[in-house]
Structure 1
Amino acid sequence: MKVSIIVPVYNAEKYLDKCVESITKQTEEDIEILLIDDDSTDSSGRMCEEWANKDSRIRVFHIENIGVSNARNQGIKYSNSPYIMFVDSDDWIRKDMVECLLKNIEESKSQAVFCNYITVRDGEEIPCEGILEYKVYRSDEVAKIISNMFGGGRYYSSIWRGIYEREVIENSKIYFRDLKFAEDLVFNLEYLLNCNRVKIIKDELYYYRVNSTSALQSLKNKVDEIQKVPYEIYSLITKYNCLEKYSVEMLSELSLTVKRLFDINNKYSNFKVNAANFRKWNFKEIEKYSNNDRISKMYFQRKWIKLYVYLWIEKIKNHIHRK
């Protein structure tokens, strides 16, 4: 088998058939499909078994519901192929996605290949915006892809748009952190920090489904998880001795985190209730770079009222601009 495709499954009965069918009908047939049932409470577990009975390339694992990061880690553990891909159970892929990514990673001798995707929202298909040049990024050029991941997820922080080398994952001991938010960004960051050859292609191969729930609403119960992300990023870029190289990106992510918490607290609770959490963050090593970013500068100087007012003004300006 050339490629292992890992699909975490949790209460996905509404979309699972479309997802799995799109994988089983791939033009590249030398694949294995790992359905990781994360202790679903609907019929997803049974549906996984039914699919395994239809296709011998499918293996099903029923695990304790700890979260999507654990499900993906289990998928990596049980997979057998030299290349690994990830597909979310409410999405689907173009029939030649595996063939296209596999061909590109083998011919370019890259450690990863990322494609474009289509966002599906309420039946409307929206192509993603092309940000970086379509080519092979070598050695120091990989930093361009890494920089693009910060400050809002951008376009290369999602794991489902790529193909990965098992050897890189195993040799560098890369795994999904115990996060319920931005876990794929953190995984991709560490993976790319271990790459010296990455290819980006123009082909739109993945269909990413967005439900009608607002982004803010989906985040309101993840405040604690959102606060973990800058810590994880900071720990990685210090581990790989590249804090100086990615200091601007680090601050961009910190600023985005502050904005997210402000928006959530402003809409669903009193901002002051969670203001104390801001004070717990302690990025002493990166504080010297705070002059590059207004929000982080106010944060580091502990100017909480000034920061609060500034975020409110930004919110009003953005509202006026949209009109």
Structure 2
Amino acid sequence: MEEILVSVIVPVYKVEKYLSRCVKSIQQQTYGKLEIILVDDGSPDGCPQICDELATQDPRIKVIHKANGGLSDARNVGIRSSTGEYLVFVDSDDDIAPEMIERLYAAVRSNGTKMALCNVLCVDETGLPTGGSDGSPIQNECLSAEQILPRFYREKGLFYIVAWNKLYHRSLLCETTFPAGKWHEDEFVAAQLIWKAGRVACIDYMGYHYVTQRVGSIMSVKNDVRHLDSLEALLIRYRFYQEIGQSELLHETRARVLKALEEYYWGAPSKDSVYDARMKQIRREYGNLTGVPLKEIIRWKIFSISPALEHILLKTLKL
């Protein structure tokens, strides 16, 4: 099988404990024609020096040092600096199995697709499986975008959403970039990328090893207002589904936002004014969505007046 250059983009920030292991797993890929791009996102620890040292040992490694701009910005810089026909993203505290890129590339070639994705092995910081991958939905199959998008809302649907267990043809990322400054950045663009690809080859191979809830990682920071970016991403996804005529996905997308709003207003009072203001903004945006059935509009109007009243009427009148 002819090998075509694949660019592996690794955003780097405050991961000096994990960086060498991550890069080593890329260097040891059975797929040989790689360009490894380490994007030092202004890391304040020893990562910049580690990147430079690794580059002196392997001519495939290219290092970019930049001011801190966040994960999305680092990925976008890596995309612009890449020269491969295909791209892979690896977070610098994770690692990948030896055959991941070879198998993904074989999948796109054999199925004639522009994207392939593989299974994810969830591990702790020592590399031991956590069980988070049990019951994974990823099987050996080639699916249309229409088949994949509903799976976002199934158990472990995140495996279809995340950016880092996939191989992309670079044409998919020419006009779609990760939103700078946002958390949950994958959720802003996943549907658009899959829709643009049209069909996606899926392989039941534990190719990506995801370190769950590392201390100091973005996802381990609780009650941060930036976690609400996921709700903003859902609202953007809702409007995208309207644009492409995927009406059957609208209800489930709205339901996820409404559930979060209900949990917020029924939960303990927040002491964070910034968090409160962001939730009010999301509430307004939800109320302005178009294409909402009359029954749901009535329910939302009541909820906007009084969440308690909405709860009572929902139980008694089954709105």
TM-score between both structures, scaled by the size of structure 2: 0.82
1:194 pairs with one of 173, 196, 203 = 196
Superposition pairs for residues 163-312 of structure 1, below 5 Å? Answer: 163-170=167-174, 173-211=175-213, 217-223=221-227, 225-238=229-242, 240-242=243-245, 244-255=247-258, 257-258=260-261, 261=264, 266=268, 269=271, 273-274=276-277, 276-281=280-285, 282-288=287-293, 291=296, 298-299=299-300, 301-303=302-304, 305-306=306-307
Verify: 1:81 aligned to 2:84, yes or no.
Answer: yes
Quote the Cα distance in structure 1 between the aligned partners of 2:172 and 2:257. Answer: 28
Q: Deviations over 1:233-271 (max 9, x none)?
A: 234334x432524212321432354367569x7386379
SS of residue matched to 2:68: coil
Deviation (angstroms), 1:223: 4.9
1:134 corresponding residue in structure 2: 140
Specify which of 116, 119, 122 is matched with residue 116 of structure 1.
119
Q: Alpha-carbon deviations, 1:202-221, whole Å to 9, x = none? A: 11111100135596743424
| 8 A contact 1:69–1:183 mirrored in 2 | yes
Amino acid at match of 1:220: D
CA contact (8 A) 1:32 1:58 kept: yes
Q: 2:118–2:138: 8 Å Cα contact kept in structure 1?
A: no
Of residues 85-94 and 246-255 in structure 1, the stretch that sits farther from structure 2 once superposed is 246-255
Cross-structure match for 1:321 = none
Match of 2:11 in 1: 8
Structure 1 portions without partners, runs of 5+: 311-323
Match for 1:302: what amino acid?
Answer: F
1:37 match: secondary structure: strand
Aligned-pair CA distance for 1:88? 0.2
The verdict on how the C-alpha distance between 1:47 and 1:299 changes in structure 2, with shifts beyond 3 A counting, is farther
- The match for 1:69 among 69, 72, 81 is 72
1:38 partnered with 2:41: yes
Structure 2: segments with no counterpart, 5+ residues:
312-319
DSSP 3-state at the match of 2:211 = strand
CA distance in 2, matches of 1:96, 1:216: 29
SS of 2:158 mapped into structure 1:
coil
The equivalent residue for 1:24 is: 27
Q: Measured at CA, do residues 8 and 304 of structure 1 come closer, stay the same or move farther in structure 2, by a change above 3 Å?
A: farther
- Does the alignment pair 1:159 with 2:163? yes
Q: CA deviation at 1:287?
A: 2.4
Number of paired residues? 299
- CA deviation map 1:115-136 (0-9, x unaligned): 1111113543033423255211
Which deviates further from its counterpart, 151-160 or 86-95? Answer: 151-160
On the 8 A contact 1:93/1:207 being kept in 2, the answer is yes
Aligned-residue RMSD, C-alpha: 3.0
- Mark the CA change 1:267 to 1:222 in structure 2 (over 3 Å): closer, same or farther: farther
Indicate the larger mover: 34-43 or 118-127.
118-127
Worse-superposed segment, 91-100 or 209-218 = 209-218
Q: Supply the distance in 2 between the matched residues of 1:29 and 1:246 (Cα, whole angstroms).
A: 40
Give the partner amino acid of 2:194. Answer: L
Paired-residue identity, %: 25
- How far apart in 2 are the matches of 1:270 and 1:177? 24
Whether the aligned pair in 2 keeps the contact of 1:8 and 1:68 (CA below 8 Å) is yes
Separation of aligned partners in 2, 1:225 and 1:236: 16
Q: Aligned-pair distance for 1:36?
A: 0.7
